[in-house]
Amino acid sequence: MPTGGATYPGVVPTNPVITPPVYTPPLYTPPVVVPTTTTPTTTPTTQGPSPAPLCTGGPSAQQLIAVVEGTPGIPDEPLKVTTGPFCSGEWQFAVMEIVADDAEDKYEPLAVVTTGKPATLKLIEAGADVCSNEVQAQAPVGIRVRACGA
């Protein structure tokens, strides 16, 4: 029988010639990335002024609520202090809300800015936005941070 891959009609070769598969390289070869170690540069951050801290010598939540109750524009509903009071000098900032009868009732928070000694508080602002000209011009920095955000 002949060798070398020649075939004859009706004769099956006992050692067929096996052709190895053809491999083609990929069309795109990604670049080799060598990791580098660099020290990240950090920009020093400047922090703004600190917000007023929690009051240590009063006023109490009840004293703040008493100043706000009966004020025109304030709902005639029971109130509770939810945040604060925070003090700086003789100024105070707190957040109140209406005491809800039903768990589904949702009310907008009421921000309050007062000044004076706990027994003689004066209401400066009460509402959703208490960053008034008076607060911006006269309140200590820590109260302005709480009331105005800066």
- Rounded CA-CA distance 9/150 in Å is 97
DSSP 45: P
- The percentage of residues in the chain with a pLDDT greater than 90, rounded to a whole number, is 54
Residue 138: closest CA among 123, 124, 126: 124
74-96 pLDDT, tens per residue? 888 899 999 999 999 999 999 99
- pLDDT digit string, tens, across residues 1-36: 455 556 666 666 666 666 777 766 656 666 677 777
Q: How many Cα neighbours within 13 Å face the side chain of 128?
A: 2
Chain segment 101-144, per-residue pLDDT in tens: 776 667 789 999 999 999 999 999 999 999 999 999 999 999 99
The structural domains of the chain, with segments of one domain joined by +, span 61-148
